[in-house]
Amino acid sequence: HLHVDTAGSAPHTNIGMATSSPQLVMLVSCLAALALAAGAGEADGRPKARRFVTASGARFMAGGRPFYADGFNAYWLMYMASNPADRSKVLDVLDQASRLGPTVVRTWAFSDGQGSDRPLQITPGVHNEQVFVGLDFVIAEAKKRGIYLILSLVNNMDSFGGKKQYVQWARDRGHYLGSDDDFFSDALTQQFYKNHIKRMVTRVNTFTRVAYKDEPTIFAWELMNEPRVPSDLSGKTMERWVASMSAYVKSVDPKHMVEIGMEGFYGESTPERKRFNPGQGYTGGTDFISNNHIPTVDFATIHIYPDQWLPGSSSHAQVEFTKRWMASHIEDAGKALRKPLLVAEFGWSARSGGYTVAARDGYFRMVYDAIYASVKGGGPCAGGLFWHVMAPGMESWTDGYDVVFERSPTTAAVVSQECAKIHRITSAV
């Protein structure tokens, strides 16, 4: 894929630890526990992350009421939280989310191989406790603030290891694999991946003492970030893999929703819809309709990157593509899939021609307007997560799409306004 999300060496922020008496430590611990419990309430009217979100037809539901997933991506949360000196960045972003109103944040629950900086899974089945504690911290802090998390389980791209690392692990065990796409069909790579899933869902959080599979703060498991199988454009390899892996997740964790992580390319099951795809009907070996039809997939996702998918095109052409892309998928989620649709990534790069903050804000408003129209009309589009938020001090991580709320007050206002509009609808239900 095309947006860069490789971890760089980010500056560290030191957090001083004051010395305390045992009585003070006990008092602080009790207050923290009370704060965590209080964070599970709904005093501010926002649905708090204390109830499992489920899919019912083309709607998300939480506690018997419709739920809408407005928020953003912050893929780096576990990475930063794995070093206590960097946790202030995580807290900064979660505090901003709590103030502005987003309900869902999507982040990585993977970092595979010794080539990764701060790996979670060092070798197959061997996990790094320090990094796992970082993920524990992210979940615990999101829970305090009533924010749900989508946790992605592996990357299609090479950054943070990805499917390439799983294929290399299988080769190291003597399996001959011709390409990284063999990740989706080789028995050993699939077993490695299943082992990672099981370790993830059975993990007991060191802060909350709740197993991940029992934690309502987790909104859904994502099978892979932007899966593609270019070696099989029929979509059948992907369909078999999704069916097998989504069923496995459900077998070890029946409480949480599962989504694939797809970008939304139409495939062979609906050839007439391929005209909506970028690049002369490019499918990436995926099939939006048939892959998301699988019963153990709870909701569909799309990503939107017209600046990458339509290189050299005008801003006007990219905006028109976005409108068509959203309209076609909203229609199909409601009529063909009868499942909720989440715009899981969208953004406007500062590296695009003609970029201004005002242009980005206008693009965000356009996407939000389409989501709002679907929500207000009882349609299946249940929210949007823009790509992506970073904290101050992460300049070396920039990919052009990053938003630092403290430095982007107009964008923060656009996000907050969308969340408030959606909240007014949910409050009226």
Which residues are catalytic, by number? 226, 345
Q: Give the C-alpha separation, 138 to 91, whole Å.
A: 9
Q: What single-letter amino acid sits at 278?
A: P
For the four alpha carbons of 346, 351, 352 and 357, in that order, the dihedral sign comes to positive
The 10 Å Cβ neighbour count of residue 271 is: 10
The 10 Å Cβ neighbour count of residue 54 is: 15
Q: Give the C-alpha separation, 140 to 143, whole Å.
A: 5
Sequence-ordered strand ranges (E) for 163-290: 218-222, 257-259
What does DSSP assign to residue 47? P
Structure tokens at 127: 């996990």
For strands 121-123 and 126-127, give the pairing. Answer: antiparallel
For the four alpha carbons of 393, 398, 404 and 410, in that order, the dihedral sign comes to positive
For strands 257-259 and 218-222, give the pairing. Answer: parallel
Q: Per DSSP, what are the bridge partners of residue 61?
A: 54, 66
